[in-house]
Structure 1
């Protein structure tokens, strides 16, 4: 259990490093390269961007190892500390103060994860899922996903961001479940691992999750989307751990109240961090339509500096010529 928790924390830290490094390089890419292969060609010449790619790969390896050695219901909630890691690292890279409220939110999320995991005490379970369990679970997951996406397409603003955020959470949790089932075949040899359908389902589900995540961010502010993703991933993972991997959770008596307290701390912390302009600048894709619209100068205005992702205005220089 301890090894799984440490590996999950390493995975969260690797993902945070990847997010910050890729944002650091992508923020100065010319806006005309958005949605073009030229953007990738430009970024491919930047060593820090490749270091971010390495961070993504390392995060996947750490997460896979954590899922191989521990319950899904343990690993995925710990992965939520990626957001605090992102904030603290971004504060160093972008030379911004973290602020007392932001640091309180970091403490809140961390404490919430600890309280949640201690209360539910995930244990037991199997490393492989019987085909019958997948056949029983996947239709329900698909229906829930279709319903959330349908709601997201039918509504606007914050409601759309929340619905798509929850859909993203479902896909992230499903991706982790596929990954755990695939890595459970590693002890049987490389052939068993690379020929398992779960491995390729992991890749497909991960791509869908990333696509939904971008749409959730574009639909509304991070204050709505990020908590839906963060908390939803943990809750769905707890359910999938029980349904698919037969994991045991302690949800009787007052432990349930303690678990709800932990969830409350996580939600409050995620909302506070999502309000941070620093996190918004790091997590929101720099080439999204929303960013392009907000960065386009209005008639008579000067274009903003692309190197300033926060959009902070500098005071007028009295020595500058009129």
Structure 2
């Protein structure tokens, strides 16, 4: 399927971008958190700019994936971004991949396979009416406000996790807006796309999510950020797919293997995020 192929390409680009952005953000002082000056510091770092370039590539691939497949199928595939990135990093740096890292890769990929096979997301439509979008935006805004309020009083990894979930919500909203915009392109051509507020909403939501992610990465460890970012994006996107686009996923007893898949993904993300490769470092040599 074209949508699956481009979703995988999106995951590769986004995963690499996240690690590069983490390398740039971890040197920023705490006093710059939640300030626009944070971007000023990051813009002077080539590593961060390379990460942003990959974000652009990922956005193009994501648009193609969402235009050709259900959002409830496309967005969960993005959980592959971390294991794929670490394996590529190990290959490029000629660093042996340790058994623990392979176990994390197996947990994430196996969990994704189980979750998607049991959920079997299908169907859906392209366009969303204005009234439905109003309710969705209000609910999303309230959820984001609650997360940001809690993050202001939290510190360290707790703050990073809350901001990571807020970023995930922003990325899910970006995907939903992008899918609706692409549907208008299919229905009315370029003119319909350029006059659709969803196109510009995609840009605003994407920039907001990126800002939240930078602050999440600056606030704490990748171990705290990555599971919340990965699982949050997948689950919230499924909610958008079902409520906005009328997509269907299996329920009933099928929820049990879906939950088991999510647990595997979460465990795998924690293992992978603790790898030295996730921080841009080499794995220690055997016996050290």
TM-score tier (shorter): 0.7 to 0.9
Question: In the superposition, relative to structure 1, how do residues 101 and 41 fare at CA in structure 2: closer, same or farther (>3 Å)?
Answer: closer
8 A Cα contact 1:3 1:66, kept in partner: yes
CA distance in 2, matches of 1:219, 1:52: 19
Matched, 1:225 2:207: no
CA distance in 1, matches of 2:155, 2:41: 32
Greater mean deviation of Cα atoms: 6-15 or 121-130 = 6-15
Deviation at 1:91, TM superposition (A): 1.2
Gaps of 5+ in 2: 26-36
Greater mean deviation of Cα atoms: 236-245 or 49-58 = 49-58
Matched, 1:244 2:232: no
Query: TM-score, length-normalised on structure 1?
Result: 0.77
CA distance in 2, matches of 1:97, 1:310: 9
CA distance in 2, matches of 1:60, 1:199: 13
8 A Cα contact 2:19 2:278, kept in partner: no
1:33-52 alignment to 2 at 5 Å?
Answer: 40=43, 43=46
8 A Cα contact 2:276 2:282, kept in partner: yes
Partner residue, 1:126: 125
1:1-322 alignment to 2 at 5 Å?
Answer: 2-18=1-17, 40=43, 43=46, 55-187=54-186, 188-253=188-253, 255-281=254-280
CA distance in 1, matches of 2:209, 2:267: 24
Q: Which has the higher contact order (CA 8 A, sep 6+)?
A: 2
Kindly tell me the number of residue pairs found equivalent between the two proteins. 274
CA distance in 2, matches of 1:82, 1:259: 20
CA distance in 2, matches of 1:141, 1:6: 29
CA distance in 2, matches of 1:130, 1:311: 51
Larger helix fraction of residues:
2
Gaps of 5+ in 1: 28-33, 282-308, 313-322
Hey, which bits of structure 1, 4+ residues long, moved more than 4 A? 17-24, 34-42, 48-54, 309-312
Query: TM-score, length-normalised on structure 2?
Result: 0.86
Over residues 260-280 of structure 1, what are the superposed CA-to-partner deviations in whole Å (9 max), with x where a residue is unaligned? Answer: 010011000000011112112
Output the aligned Cα RMSD.
2.8
Deviation at 1:161, TM superposition (A): 1.7
Greater mean deviation of Cα atoms: 57-66 or 236-245 = 57-66
Deviation at 1:158, TM superposition (A): 2.3
